[in-house]
Structure formats: structure tokens, C-alpha cells
Structure 1
Amino acid sequence: MSFSPQSRVWVYQSDRKFTSAEENEILNKLASFTNQWKAHGNELLAKAEIRYGFFIILTVDESQANVTGCSIDSSVRIIKDIEQEYNVDLFNRFNMAYKVDDEVVVNSKEDFETLVNIKQVTASTIVFNNMVQTLSELETKWEVPFQNSWHSTVFAHLL
């Protein structure tokens, strides 16, 4: 299944890494959801994936049917269900994800700020920009060096 680079994406970041068993269960739930996901009765060309054990990514190719408010609400509901069932936080935008030696680490904004302060997070540290909105942005602007991300404007005074 081929998705247009302009497909819409939503990135939900967990505050902890899913176990492989959890990941399989969640992917099965999301596959059931994306297979029957509709907008005003039209089937949406959609997929779900988990990357690095932390990020649930939903993708919808709107060349087939446009996402509606109701269809977005239904996707948020399933993410909230996952959040409750697995006791994770998937909506906290203040949790910062970054890489240390190719391993993903998630910290609170305060802890992240401290790490920037003590130079554990540097201009070249790879951070995750979960604000990406298209598949093309996901591929090119999701994992970026701190200095090229929105993080650097928020934490600029520390660099």
C-alpha cells in the first residue's frame, strides 16, 4: 500500500517504552481500527505503526477521502483507550524525546531543560518533532538535530 507524501500524520509519544507484547497488542488494535476507519461513510486509506517502542503514528492518505472532525475524534478515542489500558501518557506535549546512542529517551520538560543546561543534550542531539503533519515531514523533519528543531527556540537561552 503506497501513501502519498502529503498524507496526514499524527504522532503520539508514550512516556515509557512499550514491551514487545504490548506493542503487538496495540498494533493489532490499531490495525482493526484503521481497517474500518471511515469519514462520512467513506473508507479512509489509513495505517498505524509504532516506532522505537515509544511513538504511535497514524497515517491517512487523503487522496482517497478527507479526514473529518468525527473521524479524528474516533482516532483520539482509540488512543485514549490505549493510554488507559496500558497506563501510559500519550498526550503530554511536555515530554521531550531525544536519542542517546541511537536509544530513545523520554524526559519531562524540566529534566530535559536540566540536560540542556549541563550539556548532556547538545545542538547536535537528535530530538523528535512530533508536530509534523505530513508523511513527507515525518520522513524529513521528525528526527532532527536539536539546533534545527522547535526545541532550540524554546530552550535557546540555554545553548
Structure 2
Amino acid sequence: MSFSPQSRVWIYQSNRKFNQTEEVEILQKLSAFTNQWKAHGNELLAKAEIRYGFFIILTVDESQANVTGCSIDSSVRLIKEIEQEYNVDLFNRFNIAYKIDGEVKVQAKEDFETLVNIKQITPETIVFNNMVQNLADLENKWEVAFKDSWHSTVFAHLL
């Protein structure tokens, strides 16, 4: 099934990498959810995936039915259940994900700031922009060089 580039996306970043067993279990929960996800009785064309073992990504193609506040609430409830069951933090926006040698790492904002300070994070380091809103941006603007990201404005004083 193909999704419109304008499909809405929600990205939830874990503070730690899921192990293989967790990833399989979480994907089963997400799949069961997206298969019956509805908005005002209309089935939503939705999918869920986990990327890099850290990111839960929900995608909804609104060309069939629009997402409603209630349907978004139900997805947030599911993510909170996953958070509790697996003892991870999926809502902390101050955890920053980046890639070093192709490996994803997540640090608290203060630790990330230290890494920028000591030049472990360079302007070329890939960071993740979890604020992307649609599938096109997920594919093109999610993984970006630090210098081209919103992160660089937050940490501009260190560059």
C-alpha cells in the first residue's frame, strides 16, 4: 500500500535502544493498533514502524480519512502504555539523537551540549529532526547535518 508524501507522521524517540525481542513485541502492538485505528468510525490508512531501534514512527494517509483529536489521543495512549511496559522514555523532547559512524546514539540535552563543546558533535554530524510533520519531510528532512538543523540554533553559541 502506498502512502501520499503528505501523510502525517508522528515520531516517538526512545531514550534507549529497544532490544530485538522488545522491537518484535512493540511492532506487534503497533500493527494491531494501526490495523483498527479509526477516526469517527472511518478506518485510517495507517502504518507503524521502528527505525534504528530507537524511533517509533506512526504514519497516517489523510487522503482517505482525517485524523481527529480522539484518534490522536488513542495513539498517544498506546505510546504511553509502551513507555510504561518497556520502561523507556518516549516523550522527552530534551533527549537528542544523532549518528556517529552510522550508529544512532541518544543523549540528554546537557550531555549533547558537552559533546558539541568538545567537538565530538561537528557541524556535519547527522541529527534527527523529530518535528517533521509528513512523510516527504521524514524522507528528506528527518536526518540532517547538525549545521542545517534546528539543533544548531539552540546550540549556536557553541559552534
Q: TM-score, normalised by structure 1?
A: 1.00
Any unmatched runs of 5+ in structure 1? none
* Deviation (angstroms), 1:101: 0.3
Q: Secondary structure of the equivalent of 1:131?
A: coil
What is the CA distance between 1:59 and its match in structure 2?
0.1
CA RMSD in angstroms comes to: 0.2
CA distance in 2, matches of 1:50, 1:14: 10
Runs of 5+ consecutive residues of structure 2 not aligned to the other structure: none
Over residues 56-82 of structure 1, what are the superposed CA-to-partner deviations in whole Å (9 max), with x where a residue is unaligned? 000000000000000000000000000
Q: TM-score if structure 2 supplies the norm length?
A: 1.00
Q: How many aligned residue pairs are there? A: 159
Matched, 1:86 2:86: yes
Query: What is the percent sequence identity of the aligned residues?
Result: 83
- 1:134 aligned to 2:138? no
Deviation at 1:51, TM superposition (A): 0.1
1:24 matched to which residue of 2? 24
Q: Superposed, which structure 2 residues align to 1:55-94 within 5 Å? A: 55-94=55-94
- Residue 3 of structure 1 corresponds to 3
2:103 aligns with 103
Q: Secondary structure at the match of 1:81?
A: helix
Q: Does 1:120 align with 2:126?
A: no
